[in-house]
Chains A and B, each alone.
Chain A
Amino acid sequence: MSSRAIRPDADVLGRADRPVTILVDGTPVTGIAGQSIAGVLLAAGRTAWRYGPTGGARGVFCGIGVCFDCLLTVNGIPDVRACRRRARDGDVIATQSRAAAPSTVDDNEAGGEPEPPAPATTPSSVDGAR
């Protein structure tokens, strides 16, 4: 764990935090009200939450909504930029993957472990493909 929130008592801003809790792949993660979903995840020490087409882990890269590296599913809606979306109490987050599901891995949920990345999400937004 290395990314982290600045402690409120050490913060020159003079913060008065309120907590915000979101559910990430079933696990509650608490951040500071006002943070984006990316901010909450990073403050909790989590730097990756998406898998690229060849399986590499990805998280925040540009921080301002340009690179689309930080996509995740929010309350059932896929492809939301975590760096652009404010976290709301109770948001249900699912991490995403564009990697092909490994054929050697059995797809049953018996273990209760977070599944390996699901197969590519259906494109739900259009962005000027030519």
Chain B
Amino acid sequence: MRHVAVIGAGPGGLSAAATALGAGAHVTLVDAAEQPGGQYHRAPAPEFGATRPDRLQHGWRDFAARRDQVLGHSRCTFLPETSVWALEGADGIPVVHVLTGPADGAGRRRRTIEADALVLAVGAHDTMLPFPGWELPGVVTAGAAQALVKGERVAIGEQVVVAGTGPFLLPVAAALLGAGSTVRQVLEANRPGRIAAGWGARPWQLAAQAGKLPELAGYAATLARHRVPVLAGRAVVAARGDGRVEEVVTARLRDDWSAVPGTERTVAVDAVCVGHGFSPQLELPVAAGCALRAEPDGRRFVAVDADLRTSRPGVYAVGELTGIAGAPAARAEGALAGWLAAGGPDRPAVRALRRRVAAGRRFADRLAAAHPIGAGWPGWLRDDTVVCRCEDVRYRALRLAADQDPRVAKLGTRAGMGPCQGRICGPTVAALRSAEAARRRAAAGTAARGGNPHHRPIAQPIRLGELAAAADTEHSEEPS
């Protein structure tokens, strides 16, 4: 019997587990969280005693049915509260190193999993561009605001501005309204012409194909009912406050996201939620040796074929790792990859899945075209703007180091050397460096050196004591 290890139990990973079980495999499903669901189906904690968990998200019933079917299956081993901190091995299927126990605790249980195929489904995090004051408490990512409402039943503020780019701003605003907050404005940085051109003709058909239409229509209706102004071509270019955010400065943007002077307005807030799209969590795919592909704008994803195979034999990648297209697309990809990873035969149903995966891919392409990040955003920065949050590295220091070798600049400024290891600032620093290098007409190519910014030998923090302790000798979750 084949043994498929699925890393991540969001929409993509849970679907993969379901079809792999359907194809007769033994499945080990691993997630760092205590419950499956990922970012989209973030479930209220059981301790809340919620009688209506279906009220917070679309498709809850289907999700709950799939979850119960997977977790209750005799061939499924679910490992909750289990972080994959490394993938190892140059030949064959990488060995999965996991730690089980409370997040960042000491003395978590260490073990390894060896499988016949691996499905990576670890999702994404918000992309966030810096602006003056973004480090103030009360400034959070759009995803954080959403996660706090869904998972904690907490509203991040009473008077909130939601800003950035992409349709994800709508569910965030709707969730805040549902939490009783006042959403003062929703700001989409891209201008209407760009958005329309990006989506192309009849975007609703595309959204319908990708399974997103009813959901998006629902959020738009909620915002309209609450009379929340949704403004396109405007952004939060600064946050101000004493010890926490008290007001934001918004400005009208040109197509390239440079601010139009004289269009600044201030809005009093006690929280601001910003998201400029999503960045895939590439540590594990990179550790597995999977090739990446670059979008025209430079964003990187795992390169997969039409069957979600990565360049590493036996390793599949699904969901946000392969492109940003939302939960329905992640589910379709997971379903196809899980089935194939388990050695399931090609059938008409599989061909139908391939068509759904292709529809998701088209949706991802248009989404990226309609909501790009404009190259002019560094104009929002001032010399003293924090760029690397962990090490408090300011824009000025980075500019001064722009023509140094990336490694030297990293050591000199400490950008990217703090606890997050460049997860938040890495792409930003790279973009600023190449912009600065271009501005100075420095020798072409210098900004491109410096290796893969997603390479982190250790994907999740592990305490030195845990590293020193031997892994469990039971060694693998071999199917019996």
Q: Which of B47, B271, B456 contacts A34 (CB 8 A)?
A: B47
Which residue among A10, A56, A81 has the maximum number of chain B CB atoms within 10 Å of its CB?
A56
Binds B, one of A22-30, A37-45, A102-110, A111-119: A37-45
Given contacts A77-B104, A126-B467, contact A64 B180 (CB under 8 A): no
A7 to B419, CA, bound (A): 35
B132 to chain A, nearest CB (A): 13
A6 touches B458 (CB 8 A): no
Which residue among B148, B156, B281 has the maximum number of chain A CB atoms within 10 Å of its CB?
B148
A3 touches B156 (CB 8 A): yes
Minimum-distance CB pairs A-B, first 10: A63-B144, A34-B45, A34-B47, A39-B152, A16-B49, A14-B51, A84-B103, A2-B270, A68-B419, A48-B137
Give B45-73 as 1s and 0s: 1 = Cβ < 8 Å from A's Cβ atoms: 11111111101100000000000000000
Binds A, one of B229-237, B256-264, B384-392, B432-440: B384-392
Binds A, one of B304-312, B341-349, B364-372, B420-428: B420-428
B114 close to A (CB within 8 Å): no
A6 touches B44 (CB 8 A): no
Given contacts A32-B153, A38-B152, A63-B145, contact A57 B137 (CB under 8 A): yes
Chain A stretch 25-76: residues in CB contact (< 8 A) with chain B: 32-36, 38-39, 42-43, 47-48, 52-54, 56-69, 71, 74
Residues on A lying within 8 angstroms of B by beta carbon are 2-7, 10-18, 32-36, 38-39, 42-43, 47-48, 52-54, 56-69, 71, 74, 77, 79-81, 83-86, 124-130
A79 touches B152 (CB 8 A): no
A78 to B466, CA, bound (A): 14
A74 to B47, CA, bound (A): 21
B154 touches A85 (CB 8 A): no
A118 to chain B, nearest CB (A): 17
A64 touches B390 (CB 8 A): no
Instruction: List 12 A-B pairs, Cβ < 8 Å.
Output: A2-B159, A12-B178, A15-B44, A36-B151, A47-B138, A64-B39, A64-B147, A68-B418, A77-B105, A80-B104, A81-B104, A83-B147
A69 to chain B, nearest CB (A): 6
A124 to B464, CA, bound (A): 7
B459 surroundings in chain A (CB, below 8 A): 128
Give B379-420 as 1s and 0s: 1 = Cβ < 8 Å from A's Cβ atoms: 000000010011110000000000000000000000001111
A58 to B418, CA, bound (A): 14
A99 to chain B, nearest CB (A): 9
User: Which label, helix, strand, loop or mixed, suits the secondary structure of the A interface?
Assistant: loop
B102 surroundings in chain A (CB, below 8 A): 85-86
A67 to chain B, nearest CB (A): 5
Q: Which residue of A lies closest to B456 (CB)?
A: A128
A60 surroundings in chain B (CB, below 8 A): 140, 144, 148, 156
A2 touches B44 (CB 8 A): no
B423 surroundings in chain A (CB, below 8 A): 66-67
Q: A35-B152, A124-B463 are in contact. List 5 more A-B contacts (CB 8 A).
A: A6-B180, A15-B48, A38-B148, A86-B102, A128-B458
B461 touches A127 (CB 8 A): yes
A85 to B281, CA, bound (A): 20
A47 touches B244 (CB 8 A): yes
B462 touches A126 (CB 8 A): yes
A13 touches B47 (CB 8 A): no
B8 close to A (CB within 8 Å): no
A38 surroundings in chain B (CB, below 8 A): 148, 152
Q: Which residue of A lies closest to B245 (CB)?
A: A47
A26 to B386, CA, bound (A): 32
A123 to B421, CA, bound (A): 13
Given contacts A61-B140, A66-B424, contact A79 B104 (CB under 8 A): yes
A4 touches B56 (CB 8 A): no
B156 touches A69 (CB 8 A): no
B206 close to A (CB within 8 Å): no
Q: Which of A39, A53, A126 contacts B458 (CB 8 A)?
A: A126
A18 to B461, CA, bound (A): 31
B381 to chain A, nearest CB (A): 17
A52 to chain B, nearest CB (A): 5
B248 close to A (CB within 8 Å): no
Chain B stretch 86-104: residues in CB contact (< 8 A) with chain A: 102-104
B88 to chain A, nearest CB (A): 14
A3 touches B271 (CB 8 A): yes
B135 touches A56 (CB 8 A): yes
Q: Which of A13, A33, A71 contacts B51 (CB 8 A)?
A: A13
Q: Which of B48, B281, B456, B464 contacts A16 (CB 8 A)?
A: B48
A32 touches B48 (CB 8 A): yes
Given contacts A3-B154, A77-B104, A127-B421, contact A62 B458 (CB under 8 A): no
Given contacts A77-B105, A86-B34, contact A125 B48 (CB under 8 A): no
Q: Which residue of B lies closest to A38 (CB)?
A: B152
A56 surroundings in chain B (CB, below 8 A): 135-136, 386, 392
B215 close to A (CB within 8 Å): no
B105 touches A5 (CB 8 A): no
A63 touches B141 (CB 8 A): yes
B336 surroundings in chain A (CB, below 8 A): none
Given contacts A12-B56, A62-B144, A81-B104, contact A69 B138 (CB under 8 A): no
B321 close to A (CB within 8 Å): no
Q: Which residue of B lies closest to A85 (CB)?
A: B103
B128 surroundings in chain A (CB, below 8 A): 62
Q: Which residue of A lies closest to B46 (CB)?
A: A34
B143 touches A71 (CB 8 A): no
B369 to chain A, nearest CB (A): 26
B146 surroundings in chain A (CB, below 8 A): 63
